[in-house]
Each structure stands twice: as C-alpha cells, then as structure tokens.
A = this chain, B = another copy of it.
Amino acid sequence: MKIQIKQNILIEHLNYVIKGISTKNLRPILNCIKFELTDDGLYLMSTDNEISIKTFIDKKEIDKIDACGEIVVSGRYIYDIIRKLPDELITIEEVMDAKIYINTKNSSFTLNCNDPAEFPDLELEYRKKPILLNQKVFKTIINQTAFATSTGESRPVLTGINFKIENNQMECTATDSYRLAIKKIELNEKAEENSNIIIPTKNLNELVKLMDEDDENIEIHIFNNKAIFKFSTISMMTRLISGTYPDTSKLVPAEFLLTMQTSLMDFYNAIDRASLLTNESDKNTIKFETNDEQVIISSNIPEIGNVEEKIMVKKNNQENIKIAFNSKFMMDAVRVLDSSEIELLFNGEFKPIIIKNPESDDLIQLILPIRTY
C-alpha cells in the first residue's frame, strides 16, 4: 500500500473511526485501524465487536494512489501522529517486515503493523429499503430519551433505547423504571417490515457524536442482532440488546384529574433552585403543592436550611395537588422539551406525573412520585 493524501482530509476521517476503538484493550487488534486502499479510494475501519465504524475517502480527495493494499495499525498512534502533523501532503507506505513509513517534508515515522488477516469482519450489510430519517431528527430523538436509560446493569434491556417500528410509525422508549421518555416519529415511508429492537444507549451516544450539522438523511438498516446506520461517508454497526423490552404502553394514562400549564423556564429555574437544598441520598426529593393558580415548590436539608419557590400556573379545573418527586429527574425531563410552555398532568399524589409540550404528544415524559406525605 502506498498513498499520498492531505493531512486535513485524512484526519477528518480518522476522527470518525477513532471512536470505534476499544478502550478496554483486551485484544490488541481491537485497538487498531484498518486502511484498505483500492482504486476507488481509501476505506478506514475500526471495531470493538460491540460497534464497528467504516468511512470512505473517495479517490478524488486523494493526491496519489501508488499501490493498493491493506494495513492494520495502532489506532491511537496513527491518530495522534496524523493529528499533530502539519496541514501538508502525507505519504503512507507499507514496507518490509510489517512496517509503514509516514512521511512529510520534515517528519518521518515508522510504525509496526498488525496482520490484516487478523482484523475482524465489520459485519456491515445493507437492506434494500432502509428506514430513512433526517439526521437532526435522529439526534433530537436520542437527546430527548437517552438520559432516562438505566445506568445500572441489573436489567440489561433498560440500558438501551427501544425502537418500535410499525408501518410508518416509530416509537422510541427509554426507562430506568423510575421515569420514562417516549418519543413518537412519523416516517416518510412505510417500513419494509415491523421491528422491535433495543439499541445500547452508549452506542447511540457514540453514533450521535459522528454526525455533523447536516440536514442529510441517515439510513437505518435493522437486522436480527444488529443495526447499521449509514450517512455521509460513514457506516456504523451496533449490536442489539437481546431480551424483551417492558410494555410501557399502559403506563401513560389517557385521562387526568388535573392538568396545568406554566412557563418552562420559570418552572425549570424554580426546581433547579429548590434542588440546591436536597440530597442525592434522599432521592433529591422536592415537594410540589398547588394553591389555586399558585404552586409552592419546597425542599429542605434540616442541618442546612429550607427553600420555597413560587410559580404561577394555569389549571384546567379547581382540583389541587400535593406531590413529591426527584428534582433531578424533573429537570432532565423538562430540559429536553422544545417549547416555551410546558404541561404537567396529574392523577393524584401516588400516580405518575406526565410532562409534555402542551401543543404536542410527540414526546411524553413520565416521572413516578415519591411518597413523603
């Protein structure tokens, strides 16, 4: 393999594949990046068996392809070297004894390589009719649900986001069993077949980091045990979590005893301040109590002090409510709502609280109350 390529182009693509490098370091080959140089251009690949990333640099963006071939080289070293080289022409050449030379005008690196035959298969494959979604919409889905995922490992299915696709409806659900986020999306086209899969949230967070601000579509190719995302020059494979995702469809009631509307910023800031006088060990409990159109939000740490915050709300009836909840969960839920007003829906002090945009049911946030009274 021998190639001449500009530093800024190569580093852009190394920036993608470096995110697929294993940090656990169990098999050295999983710390490597594979370069596959063909007459069409250069493929860069990385995998830790949980996720795989592949990107392509078209021959038009390459100064010279002297000899096609494959090399497998330490990802961390090649990434840091290319990143620190000046923005000039770089020559990478495979030489005897499983080594490569990396040269610019004033710098000469020699790096030891691994055997390309040992590099794992990326398991990339594509469906004829993938699901299509706008990249920004996809990022929003992850942003609005991922935080509600469980971080504990006791129930592995809860460490992922459930994607349920039926005809042209996609429903994305995350829960840690104390709170729940459900986002509904209408697809432009009916899906080829219905799916119900769980994708690890940490892999989705990596995927989102690979995306730029483009309005371009992302293709989602769903298989039995993996999903492949394709956009721009990139393909990313993630394994799925096996198991059955809990049925959350009956958790969100259709009717409520009391609904109210208030300013998102006022509500968020009041909760944020009340949260200062709560403890992690006490589930960050704050109390919420209506008195006509006024709400008192309060909390205390006996040895430190207490706080009362007032906000005004518009209610749909004369009912009042006294309820307590985890302030951090409420802030997480409110923060991702994309509206200036929010709607809070209640069925009594021991029933889940629903938080949403008053003008849309596309995103439903649910929080279980805490029993204190």
Contact = CB atoms under 8 A, between A and B. Distances in A.
A110 interface: yes
Interface stretch (A77-85, A182-190, A322-330): A77-85
Given A106-B310, A310-B106, A311-B106, A273 B305 contact: no
A80 B111 contact: no
Given A106-B311, A108-B308, A81 B303 contact: no
B309 A84 contact: no
Nearest to A113: B305
Interface string A291-312: 0000000000001111111110
Contacts of A269: 84, 86
Given A84-B269, A276-B80, A305 B106 contact: no
Nearest to A275: B84
A305 B81 CA distance: 12
A273 B81 contact: yes
Contact of A77 (B106, B108, B270, B304): B304
A192 interface: no
Contacts of A304: 74, 77, 111-112
A109 interface: yes
A63 interface: no
A272 interface: yes
A108 B311 CA distance: 12
Copies of this chain in its oligomeric complex = 2
Interface string A52-91: 0000000000000000000000100100110011100000
A107 B77 contact: no
Nearest to A307: B109
B272 A305 contact: no
A305 B84 contact: no
Contact of A107 (B85, B86, B107, B307): B307
A57 to B, nearest CB: 23
A2 interface: no
A273 B84 contact: yes
Interface string A260-288: 00000000011011001100000000000
Given A107-B309, A108-B307, 9 more contacts: A77-B277, A77-B304, A81-B307, A84-B273, A99-B305, A107-B307, A108-B308, A109-B307, A110-B306
23 contacts: A74-B304, A77-B276, A77-B304, A77-B305, A80-B276, A81-B276, A84-B273, A85-B273, A86-B269, A99-B305, A106-B270, A106-B309, A106-B310, A107-B307, A107-B310, A108-B307, A108-B309, A109-B277, A110-B305, A110-B306, A110-B307, A112-B303, A112-B305
**Nearest 4 CB-CB pairings of A with B:** A111-B305, A106-B310, A108-B308, A110-B305
